[in-house]
Amino acid sequence: MTETFTKKLNDSASVRWAALILIASMMFFGYMFVDVMSPLKSLIESSRGWDSSTFGTYAASEYFLNVFCFFLIFAGIILDKTGIRFTGILSASLMVIGAVIKYIGITDWFQTTEFCNWLNSWWVALPGSAKMASLGFMIFGCGCEMAGTTVSKAIAKWFKGKEMALAMGLEMAIARLGVFAVMWISPIVSKQFDNSVVAPVAFCTVLLIIGLLCYIVFSFMDKALDKQLIASGEMSEEKSAEDEFHISDLGKILTSKVFWLVALLCVLYYSAIFPFQRFAPNYLEVTLGIDAETAARLFSCFPILAMILTPFLGGLLDFKGKGASMLMLGALIMFVCHMSFAFLLPLYPSKWLAVLIIVVLGVSFSLVPAALWPSVPKIIDEKVLGSAYCLIFWIQNIGLCLVPLLIGTVLDATGGYTVPMLIFSSFGVLAFLFGLWLKREDSRHNYGLEEPNIKK
């Protein structure tokens, strides 16, 4: 009996890595669904009467409820109150429900319904199919962002005192592999079904259901682990009041200057990455004069280096440090890449140059996340760390919601991608300046952002 209590499920390497695969699978399928429509921008516009502004509105809708209805803040409370099992299943279920609504919205059948005609009758600038797809994407976005927070907490629990940094890096790498996969799979599935925009969405919706089932299996494993933790005395059946979410904690975070530097750097950087992903295949299609499938395959190279480098950069940060410097370097690389998209690639429109810029941008996407998220515990007290992460995600979502709207509107107004790429470039400049400011604050107050995570 004693052996049962001393050797827990997560003490077994095979079991804890199996748990990681289950929860990472949910995020892999989630990331696939996020960008399933990105390679199909031209097709959805021609088949459903959308324009770039409509596509930008649809892309922004993923973050609408998280930002303007504060769902992401509530998600943190739900996670703290109910734990990773309930919250994970809830988030995966919301992703499935939102995906089904979005699928219905873009079907040929829906276009003939009275409900669609009613949707078309108000706010006529946005077709009924886009309204329905956006509603589904809003609900999906609530689940996806909630899942991201839940997965981080689940990994921290299962890999406590073990390979936590590596596990988080690998989970992020697996999730990003979803972006690579969907850039290839979405156009292929579309072509197999006579250039359908519906078939790829249906395919990824089925994958989300599989992701939900994976997390349910993980939940049974986690319940068994909890019983072992309680039996061994490592966890109490009653949660301590100190571990609960308190509204008063928000004031401690929001009055911190260094928190705002990190949060603003985060929103500026990610606003130049994720919204860009929505438009990138169409940008390559227009700039290089290639078809949508080829453009999507070229852009699929973007997450490859990020997927490979992120775990190694996390290890470098653990042993060597230089977190603030890595943030600045990542922002600088992003600026150079977007300026190249604005001027260099249109001047020399070749596939090899496009791939080179895309791959270098992927290096930036490795540097910043690898340095950003492990830096937060160094500047925020552990008691309010969960609240701080939720607030950073919420602030980040504001940019992710508004920037696609801006880019879609500017694209329609200018008829080209030069100005949108300059907007993305400006985010890189501002992110670099905030990184420089953050490094100065670190040197003055010794937060340890430049120091290794592992103390010798």
Q: Structural domains in the chain?
A: 13-230 (1.20.1250.20), 245-456 (1.20.1250.20)
pLDDT in tens, 214-259: 999 999 999 998 888 888 766 666 554 455 556 666 677 888 888 8
Structure tokens at 206: 């089925």
Question: Taking the mean position of all CA atoms in its chain, how far away is CA 310?
Answer: 14
Residue 264's Cβ-count burial label (10 Å; 0-12, 13-18, 19+) is buried
pLDDT value at residue 455:
60
Q: Which amino acid is at 86?
A: F
pLDDT tens across 430-453, in order? 999 999 999 999 888 888 888 876
Read off the pLDDT of residues 96-155 as tens digits, 9 standing for 90 and up.
999 999 999 999 999 899 999 999 888 877 899 999 999 999 999 999 989 988 888 888
99 contacts 33 by C-beta, under 8 angstroms: yes
At residue 390's C-alpha, the angle toward residues 176 and 453, to 5°, is: 70
The per-residue pLDDT for 105 is 94
Contact 96, 212 (CB under 8 A): yes
CB contact set of 111 (below 8 Å; sequence gap of 6+): 48, 128, 129
Residue 385, token pair as written in the block: 């760390």
* High-pLDDT (> 70) share of the chain, %: 91
- Average pLDDT score, the chain: 86
Local confidence band at 3 (pLDDT 50, 70, 90 cut-offs): very low
* 428 burial level (CB within 10 Å; 0-12, 13-18, 19+): buried
The better pLDDT of the pair 93, 376 is held by 93
> DSSP secondary structure string, 11-28?
GSHHHHHHHHHHHHHHHH
Question: Which pLDDT belongs to residue 428?
Answer: 93
pLDDT exceeding 90 applies to what percent of the chain? 48
- Provide the residue type at 12 as one letter: S
DSSP 176-225: HHHHHHHHHHHHHHHHHTTS-SHHHHHHHHHHHHHHHHHHHHHHHHHHHH
Tokens (6 digits) for 46: 């021609």
Note the pLDDT tens digit of each residue in 36-80: 998 888 898 888 889 888 988 998 898 889 888 888 888 877 887
Question: 373 or 22: whose pLDDT is higher?
Answer: 22
Residue 350 reports pLDDT greater than 90: yes
Q: Tell which phi-psi region holds residue 446, choosing left (phi > 0), alpha (psi between -120 and 50) or beta.
A: left
In 279-295, which positions are buried (b, 16+ CB within 10 angstroms) versus exposed (e)? bbbbbbbbbbebebbbb
The C-alpha angle with vertex 291 and arms to 286 and 296, in degrees rounded to 5, equals 85
**pLDDT of res. 339:** 97
**What CA–CA distance (Å, rounded) separates 346 from 135?**
36
pTM: 0.78
Task: Kindly tell me the sign of the dihedral angle through the C-alpha atoms of 366, 372, 378, 382.
Answer: negative
Amino acid of residue 11: D
- Three state DSSP letters for 76-93: HHHHHHHHHHHHHHHHHH
Angle subtended at Cα 19 by Cα 17 and Cα 22, rounded to the nearest 5 degrees: 115
